[in-house]
Amino acid sequence: MLPEMNGTYSMAKSNVCCALLAFLLVFGGTASAGGLVTKASPKHCVQGLYSQPPGGPFSVFLFCDDAQGINIGVVNTSAGAGPGAITLAPPMEWDKWDVNNRFWQEPDWATDITSFAWTADLRYLYVATSYVYGTDGLYKLDLVKRSYTKLLPLKAPSKYAKLFVITGIDKQSGTVTVNSTYFDPVAKKTETKTVEIK
């Protein structure tokens, strides 16, 4: 942490955040815009900024970190760090994002991801993580409240790792379709089951 010197710490922190955002926007490029579901794998990783559908204030920056997996961070890329086209319910609060606090990354959901999906109302982001470096789960991020919930696995993981991949999201109902791939010790083979989550 930098020492406080006549307010220079606050200015330095603000400058670092602005420099990081500028770097992401200039050097990251735009990898995708408008799609609800994005899948990533080591063989098919395109580093860059993945925007929400039109009107959405958020983007995901996808980092292709080679041997350290595929990692993400959420960025508020709207002017003034505002809510964009998100309809806010009363009491109409938008206090988790501002021009000096635009980037969000938590190790639980940001590390070694396999896929992510935006909801049509722009308020949520679903993220699936791998078991190698990640937490082997499915997360629902509330972008307005800047909080998250682990949805899968529903019970303690077994010694046989699972791999979750988001394959679709219904625009009307918000139902997320996820493939869960795991090793079945009884059948002695890898199995895939499809799960739907609302």
**Of 70, 52, 53, 73, which is closest to residue 61 (Cα–Cα)?**
73
Residue 138 near residue 114, CB atoms below 8 Å: no
Q: How far apart are CA 187 and CA 61, in angstroms?
A: 39
Q: How far apart are CA 24 and CA 157, in angstroms?
A: 35
Q: Which residue ranges of the chain lie beneath pLDDT 70?
A: 1-34, 154-161
Cα–chain center distance at 157: 22
**Of 109, 103, 113, which is closest to residue 37 (Cα–Cα)?**
113
- The residues pairing with 183 across neighbouring beta strands, listed in sequence order, are 190
Q: Is this structure's pTM higher than 0.85?
A: no
Residues 175-187 pLDDT 10s: 999 998 888 888 8
Q: How confident is the model at residue 22, as a pLDDT? A: 38
Query: What is the percent of the chain where pLDDT is above 90?
Result: 59
Residue 49 near residue 60, CB atoms below 8 Å: yes
Residues 90-108 pLDDT 10s: 888 999 999 999 999 999 9
